[in-house]
Amino acid sequence: MTTPASEPESDSSPGASLLPPVLRPENPPARSLQELADRYATAVHGDIADATVSGITLATADLRPGEAFVAIQGVNRHGAEFAAQVAEKGAVAVITDAAGAEIAADAGLPIIVVEHPRAMLGDLSAWVYGTGPGDDLPILLGTTGTNGKTSTSHLLAGILEQLGVTVGLSSTAERHIAGEVIVSRLTTPEASEFHALLALMRERGVEAVAVEVSAQALSRHRVDGLMFDVAAFTNLTHDHLDDYPDMRAYLEAKLPLFQPDRARRGVVALDSAAGAEFVASAGIPVVTIGTPAIAVDPEAAAAADWTVTIHDEAQTGTRFTLSGPDGELTTTVPVIGPHMAANAGLAIVMLREAGYAWGRIVEALERDGTIHAYLPGRTERVSGDRGPAVFVDFGHSPDAFEKTLAAVRRVTPGRVLMLFGADGDRDTTKRHDMGRTAVQGSDILVVTDHHPRFENPDSIRATLIEGARRARPDAEIYEFSPPERAIEAAVDLVGEGDAILWAGPGHQDYRDIRGVRTPYSARELARRALKARGWPVPDPHWPVPYTD
């Protein structure tokens, strides 16, 4: 469960124990509350003359003594209703709007009134932690787009480590801090959490940070107060129409990342039609990259500043050449699919734009013969060297299905089985297309549950199957619930030389069922199903917290 920021998740709420901790700098600042008020407040209630603040947060569950609590209006409640609770936990002040000031008046805390606390959270956090555009920070590399954000971010981190750089990472899957790995909460953290994380990274000597930037992060001010050295765009395809009224609004939500108040330079992939619009509307210098093999307009992709040419595809990786103004580089990305080679090429060009010497990049990748990166839950093979190949992937859009199924098909001598479900309480307009794309790209289709949330999972599955049946009435389609049963049935339906693509869960270690995070790992469930049927499985790369 992800609680709205203005209605913080209490320590005892369902699923709270499964949420990873919010990180802070080990040596928190001591900033003057009076100076904060002088910079940002329209009014102050209470005495703050000698008070200091060591952090800032939106959530009661992770507030620490000495921090300020930012209270904003939520969908159902105002965060100021929690003022007495944060006072007991040691908050030094409440930062809120005029309405919140009235609600929190009797909590016994100083109240700093600002006009738009949600919109100001990034600037407030940057000031408290010293992580604004003028501060001494690591290189920031931000990637946006519908698909490929997580993969590009992890590829950036892997290549940087090959260059000998101390790396930070913030993605849907994980946070990395100079070698330490923590499971993520949100695709992009709240601004207060991100600035605290960035301050911790700086303390630990991180030199460069790869950041996944969602459209929601831009719309909801989660990356406010940050200046990216390089911003990149992957593609735009049908998704997130639960958050945006149409694809035009979704596109426009991402465009601000390419303006001078957000980034210094940009790299834009021309593989989707939206790429040209990002180039045209960018207010910063941009270079382009294209992968003609997967582009909607191959000629436009081929005319990009940098191009990616695919050579060989195998279940262990995809070999490609990146060509551009500095020369050529041939290497391998350790996952299947031309779209993954496109992500790798994008990551390399981002590093070039960030100032890393081309010769240094070429030397490191040629020395190692491949990109050393682990992409959790991104077309991740969890099976062994015998039996059906089983890939677990986070893709949950029609475009992701199409590209990943095609990639699996090219490296599979036998049949391809697609296993998937759909999110409840999310974009319902893509469900028929998900079913259609899944059945068109597979030989066998198995429909199951994903995160039903508060929707009826039977209804979700029925819509997916309806979309599949319309596209291929005679297709071999099965329905199993819950997913634990579905993967066992899927493994029984295939054999040596076949492949299973389980799309949707990827790296996630829970299912959201009626607001409760239920422990669950598709990767571990697949391994168990394979082992139970006598197939070998490799040791996992990931922690295995899942239990029955």
Taking the mean position of all CA atoms in its chain, how far away is CA 340?
A: 16
Burial tier of 312 (Cβ tally within 10 Å: 0-12, 13-18, 19+) = exposed
Which residues share a beta bridge with 512?
A: 517
Superfamily of structural domain 380-532: Mur ligase, C-terminal domain (3.90.190.20)
- How many angstroms separate the Cα of 70 from the Cα of each of 98, 121, 264? 13, 8, 30
Secondary structure (3-state) at 112: strand
75-94: per-residue pLDDT in tens?
Answer: 889 999 999 999 999 999 99
CATH code of the domain made up of 139-368: 3.40.1190.10
> Low-confidence residues of the chain, pLDDT below 70?
1-21, 184-188, 238-241, 542-548
pLDDT for the residue numbered 416: 98
Q: What tens digit of pLDDT does each residue of 146-199 get?
A: 899 999 999 999 999 999 999 999 988 788 999 888 876 555 678 999 999 999
Q: Write out the two tokens for 490.
A: 């899927």
Residue-level length of the chain = 548
Check: CB of residue 133 under 8 Å from CB of residue 224: no
Integer Cα distance of 62 and 64 in angstroms: 6
| pLDDT on residue 244 | 79
CB 395 within 8 A of CB 406: no
Pair 192, 220: CB distance under 8 Å: no
In whole angstroms, give the CA distance from residue 275 to residue 266. 12
3-state secondary structure 272-330: CCHHHHHHHHCCCCEEEEECCCCCCCHHHHHCCCEEEEEEEEECCEEEEEEEECCEEEE
- At 115, list the tokens: 């006009």
**And the tokens for 219?**
């719309």
User: Beta strand pairing status for 444-447 and 416-420?
Assistant: parallel
Nearest alpha carbon to residue 286 among 310, 308, 270:
270
Backbone angles phi, psi at 465, to 5 degrees: -65, -40
Look up the CATH superfamily of 16-129: MurE/MurF, N-terminal domain (3.40.1390.10)
Q: Dihedral of the CA atoms 219, 505, 150, 343 (nearest 10)?
A: -120
Give the residue extent of every domain in the chain: 16-129, 139-368, 380-532
**Number of other CB atoms surrounding residue 456 within 10 Å:** 10
143-127-267 Cα angle (round to 5):
15
How far apart are alpha carbons 183 and 189 in whole angstroms?
12
CB contact set of 357 (below 8 Å; sequence gap of 6+):
none
Closest by CA to 434, choosing from 410, 450, 455, is 450
Residue 239: predicted pLDDT: 67
12-42 exposure pattern, b = at least 16 Cβ within 10 A, e = fewer: eeebeeebeebbbbeebeebebbebbeebbe
Distance CA 268, CA 286 (A): 7
Task: Say what angle helices 33-40 and 117-129 make with each other, to 10 degrees.
Answer: 140
* Radius of gyration, CA atoms only, the chain: 24
| Alpha-carbon span 479 to 485, nearest angstrom | 10
Pairing of strands 139-144, 228-233: parallel
pLDDT of residue 469: 97
Strand 286-290 and strand 167-170: the pairing is unpaired
Q: Which pLDDT score, from 0 to 100, does residue 15 have? A: 40
pTM, 2 dp: 0.83
